Amino acid sequence: MNGSGLLTVRDLRVGFATEGGILQAVDGVSFDLAPGEVLAIVGESGSGKSVTAQTLLGLTRSPNARIEGSVRLRAAELLEADEAALRKVRGERMAMVFQDPMTSFNPVHRVGAQIVEAIQAHRGEVGKSEARARTVALLDAVGIPEAERRVDNYPHEFSGGMRQRAMIAMALSLEPEVLIADEPTTALDVTIQAQILRLLERLTGERNLATILITHDLGVVAEIADRVMVMYAGRVVEEGSLDEIFYDPQHPYTWGLLGSLTRLDRPRPERLPQIGGAPPSLLTPPAGCAFRPRCPHEFPKCPQPPPLEARLPDAPSHCDRCWLSPEQKREKRQVAGQIGLEAPA
Amino acid sequence: MARFVARRLVGMALVLFVVSLVVFAIFNLIPNSDPAQRLAGKNATPVLVQSITEEWGFDEPLPVQYGTMMKKILSGDLISYSERLDVDDKIIEGIPATFSLCIGAAVIWMSFGILFGYLSAVKAGGWLDRMLTVGSVAGISIPVFLIAAVFLYLFTFKLELFPASGYVPLLEDPIQWAYHLILPWLTLAILNIGFYSRVLRSNMLDAMREDYVRTARAKGLGERRVLIRHVLRNSLIPIVTLFGLDFGGVIGGGAIITEVIFGLNGVGQYAAESISNLDLPPLMAITLFGAFFVVLFNTLTDVVYAYLDPRIRLGSSAR
C-alpha cells in the first residue's frame, strides 16, 4: 500500500447511531485501487461491504452516521467534500451499479430518459438529441439488441439481465474512472450472471476502469477479480491477490467461505459445508478477533485484537488478521483433503 | 382504449341504476313521507289529497312509480313536489356556483396539500414538519361547519374583510366572483389540505427509501431534482386516486354544508332544501348528478393513473 493509486481509502470507519448505541458497520478499512484493477470485496451480509462502497460516494451520509477516516480520489478528499463537490464526483468520476436491477430504475421514467438525465446532470452543454444518441450507443455497447427502439422502453419492459446491462450503461455514461458494482449479479440467474461478468470484464479492460466489485459469491470473484479483500464484522480479515486468497488463504473465515463453495471437480458432499453460528452484533462486537465465537481453532491469544499484517515472508501484499502461525494455518485448513473450516465441535 | 371506455360506460350505467334504486327505496321506506300530503299543503281536504295521489300516480305500485320517475329524469321534465318547478332547470341553474366552489377549492387543496406534504417530507422531523403536522391534524379534525362559522365570525363580522354570503357569476364580475368565494373555498379545502399533505408526506418518506432514489443520487443529480423527479413524481400516484374520488364526491354533495352556510345557491343548497322538504324528485336527480360525477372522475382517474404509472398503461406500449 503505497498510496499512489487512483483511489486511496485509509482507516475508513462508519458507524450509525441507533437506540442501542453506535453500530460500527465499517471499522478501519484501508485499500488502494489502481486504474484497470478489479478489487473484490467479499463477505456475508452485514460484513460492511456495501456500506463501505456507498460511503465512498457519500451515500451513507445522514444525521446519525458517524464517518471517519479518509477517502481520496486522486488527491481530493471525498469524506470532507460538500454535497455540491460530491455531486460532481458521483456518476462523473465514480459510478455505481446496484444489486437489484428490478428496483434500481425508477419505474415511471423511460430507461433512456434516466440515462439521458445522468448525462445532462453533468454535461449541461450536451443537447437532448445528442444525449439520446449517446445513450443509444451505450445501450448498444452493453449488448442490448435494437437499442434504438429499446431506449424508449420503460424498465418493466426490460428483463432482469437487460436492466442490469442498462444499469451498467448508465454507470458508464460519463466515462468514470471508478466503477463500484454492488452485488451486480446477485439478483440474476446463473447464465445471465456469466454474461454480465463478461461484460464488466470487457469494459474494465477496454476503458481502463478501476472496479470495486462487492459480492458474497466467491465464484464471481474467481471470474474477474485481481485482488480480493475479505471482510468480516466491519473489518478486513484478509486481503491479497486472487491466487493468494484462493490457493493460500490465511484466515479461518476465508477457509470457511472457500469450503462452502460447491465444486464441480470434486464429489458432491451430502450437505454443503457451512460456517457455524451467525455474525456478531455490530453494536457489541466481541473483544479481540471478531470471528472468535465461530472459529473452531480459537486459542488463548484470540481475545487480543489481531492486527492486519503480512505474515508470509514471500508475499508482502498478502495480509490477514489471525494469530495462528502460517504453519499452523496450513495444517488446520485441510479438511477432508481440501481447504475448509472444520465444523465446530 | 375503445373497450376500456365501453366497459367503463356500462359500469357507470350500473352504478347509477343501483344508486337510483337505493334513493327511491329509502324515500319510500321512511315514515311520514306521503308526498300527496305535502303537495296538498297544510290544511288540505282528504278529497284534494286523494286527487293529487291519483294525478301524480302515488297509488301505483312502487316499480311503476320508479319507472315513471326515471323516465321523467331522463327526458328532462321532472317536476319537484314542493315548488312544482322543473328539477333539471334548477340543477343547471345551480351548477355555475357549485362548480366554481368545487373547482376553486380543489385547486387550493391540491396546491397546498402537495406543497405542505412536500415540505413536511423534506424537512421530516424538523420544526416545520411538526408545525405542518399539527396544522394538518387540526384541519382534518375540525368540522366544516365550525370552520365556516369561525371564518364568518372573524373575517366577516369582526374584520369585515369578506362578504357573508352570495354568489356573483364569474362572467359578470370575476373579481367579485373570487372575492365572494374565498371563504367558501378555504372552508371546503382545509380538510383535504390536511389530509393530502399527510398522505403525500408518508408516501414521499416511503419513496425516499427506494432503490431508484439511491440510484438517482448515485448518478450525481441535484437534491431538488431527486426529490421532485424521482420522489415526488412517484408519490403523486396515490394522491391522484384520492383526488378523483374526493373531487367527484365534493361536486356530488360534499359541498352541501359549505354552500348552505355561505348561501351560494348551488346544487348543494338545492339538495339541502329538498332534504328538509322530503322532496323526492330533486333528491333523485341530484343524487344521480352526484353519482355521475363520482363515477366519471373515477374513470378519469384511471386514465391519468395509467399516464403516471406506465406499468399499468393500456394499449400498445404494454402490449
Grid-cell match 452484533, residue found? A281
Q: Does A170 sit within 8 Å of B211, measured CB to CB?
A: no
Contacts of B230 in chain A (CB under 8 A): 106
The Cα A268–Cα A338 span in angstroms is 13
**Which grid coordinates are listed for A151?**
431506449
Beta-carbon separation of B219 and A100 below 8 A: no
Q: Confidence class of residue B18 from pLDDT cuts 50, 70 and 90? A: very high
Query: What is the mean predicted confidence (pLDDT) over A122-137?
Result: 91
Taking the C-alpha atoms of residue B28 and residue A77, their distance in angstroms, rounded to an integer, is: 80
B106, B186 contact by CB (below 8 A): no
Find the closest chain A residue to B210 by CA distance.
A103
Residues of B in contact with A92 (CB under 8 A): 220
- Number of residues that this document lists for chain A: 345
A89–B220: do the CB atoms touch at under 8 Å?
A: yes
Provide the 10 A C-beta neighbour count for residue A301: 12
- Which is higher by pLDDT, A125 or B52? A125
Task: Answer whether residue A161 shows pLDDT above 50.
Answer: yes
Phi, psi of A157 (to 5 degrees): -90, 0
SS3 label, residue B317 = coil
What confidence score (pLDDT) does residue B105 get? 93
pLDDT, residue A154, reads 92
Contact B230 A122 (CB under 8 A): no
Cell of A156: 418493466
Q: Is the CB of residue A158 less than 8 Å away from at least one CB of chain B?
A: no
Contacts of A171 in chain B (CB under 8 A): 219
With CA atoms as reference, report the closest residue to B24 among B69, B57, B58: B69
What type of residue sits at position B64? Answer: V
The answer to whether the CB atoms of A154 and B225 lie below 8 A apart is no
Q: Cell triple for residue A318?
A: 498478502
| Out of A87, A90, A106, closest to residue B230 by CB | A106
Residue of B216, B217, B311 with shortest CB distance to A156: B311
CB pair distance less than 8 Å for A90 and B217: yes
Residue A1 has pLDDT above 50, yes or no: no
How close is the nearest chain B Cα to the Cα of A118, in Å?
A: 6
Q: How far is CA B54 from each of CA A313, B48, B204, B225, B280, rounded to the nearest angstrom? A: 115, 10, 62, 70, 17
Residues of A in contact with B310 (CB under 8 A): 107-108, 154, 156
How far, in whole angstroms, is CA A259 from its chain's centroid? 20
Q: Chain B partners of A160 at a C-beta cutoff of 8 Å?
A: none
CA distance A202 to chain B (A): 22
Residues on chain B touching A103 (C-beta within 8 angstroms)? 210-212
Closest residue of chain A to B237, computed from CA coordinates: A108
Question: Taking CA atoms, what residue in A is nearest to B218?
Answer: A90
pLDDT computed for residue B1 by the predictor? 66
Flag whether residue A81 sits within 8 Å of chain B, measured between CB atoms: no
Only one residue has cell 437489484, namely A100
User: What are the φ and ψ backbone dihedral angles of A243, each rounded to 5 degrees?
Assistant: -65, -40
Interval A90-113: pLDDT, tens: 999 999 998 888 899 999 999 999
% chain A with pLDDT above 70? 97
Average pLDDT of chain A is 88
- pLDDT tens digit sequence for A196-244: 888 888 888 888 899 999 998 888 888 889 999 999 999 999 999 999 9
Q: Does B215 touch chain A (CB under 8 A)?
A: yes
pTM of the model: 0.82
Please tell me the distance in Å from A156's CA to the nearest CA on chain B: 7
SS (HEC) of chain A: CCCCCCEEEEEEEEEEEECCEEEEEEEEEEEEECCCCEEEEECCCCCCHHHHHHHHCCCCCCCCEEEEEEEEECCEECCCCCHHHHHHHECCCEEEECCCCCCCCCCCCCHHHHHHHHHHHHCCCCCHHHHHHHHHHHHHHCCCCCHHHHCCCCHHHCCHHHHHHHHHHHHHCCCCCEEEEECCCCCCCHHHHHHHHHHHHHHHHHHCCEEEEEECCHHHHHHHCCEEEEEECCEEEEEEEHHHHHHCCCCHHHHHHHHCCCCCCCCCCCCCCCCCCCCCCCCCCCCCCCCHHHCCCCCCCCCCCCCCEECCCCCCCCEECCCCCHHHHHHHCEECCEECCCCCC
In our burial notation (b when 16+ CB lie closer than 10 A, e otherwise), range B213-242 reads bbbbbbbbbeeeebbebbbbebbbbebbbb
pLDDT digits (tens, 9 = 90+) for A331-344: 888 887 778 887 76
In a mutagenesis test of the B interface, which of A83, A104, A116 is the best target, namely the one with the most B β-carbons within 10 Å?
A104
Which of the 8 DSSP states describes residue B86?
B
User: Does A98 reach chain B within 8 Å, measured CB to CB?
Assistant: yes
Q: What is the DSSP-derived secondary structure letter of residue B170? A: T
Do B215 and A105 count as a contact with CB atoms less than 8 A apart?
A: yes
Instruction: List the single residue in B210, B219, B233 with the smallest CB-CB distance to A90.
Output: B219
Q: Which positions in chain A touch B218 (Cβ < 8 Å)?
A: 57, 59, 90-91, 95-96, 98
Contact A98 B218 (CB under 8 A): yes
Spell out the long-range contacts of B175-182 with Cβ–Cβ below 8 A and sequence spacing 24 or more.
B177/B100, B178/B104, B181/B100, B181/B101, B181/B104
Half-sphere exposure of B119 (CA within 13 A, CB side): 14
Q: Which of B53, B55, B58, B73 is nearest to B27 (CA)?
A: B58
**pLDDT bracket for residue B318 (50, 70, 90):** very low
Per-residue pLDDT, averaged over A52-56, amounts to: 93
Q: Closest by alpha carbon to B187, among B249, B253, B261, B136? A: B261
A90, A108, A122 member nearest B233 (Cβ): A108
The predicted structure's pLDDT at residue B32: 63
Residue A3's pLDDT band, with cuts at 50, 70 and 90, is very low
Does A121 contact B210 at a Cβ distance shorter than 8 Å? no
Contact call for residues A83 and A144 (beta carbons, < 8 A): no
Tell me which of B213, B217, B219, B312 to substitute to probe the interface with A (most A C-beta atoms closer than 10 Å): B219
In the predicted model, is pLDDT for residue A345 greater than 60? no
Residue B310 has its nearest CB partner, among A96, A108, A117, at: A108
Partner-chain contact A95 B219, CB within 8 Å: yes
Nine-digit cell at B218?
448515485
**CA dihedral sign of residues B262, B263, B269, B272:** positive
* Cα separation, A147 vs A137, whole angstroms: 8
Q: What span, in angstroms and rounded, lies between the C-alpha atoms of A293 and A145?
A: 51
| In chain B, % of residues over pLDDT 90 | 26
* Grid coordinates of A277: 453460528
pLDDT digits (tens, 9 = 90+) for A57-72: 999 988 889 999 999 9
CA distance A165 to A197: 10
Q: Cβ B218–A83 below 8 Å, yes or no?
A: no
Find the range with the poorest average confidence among A168-177, A264-273, B85-94: A264-273
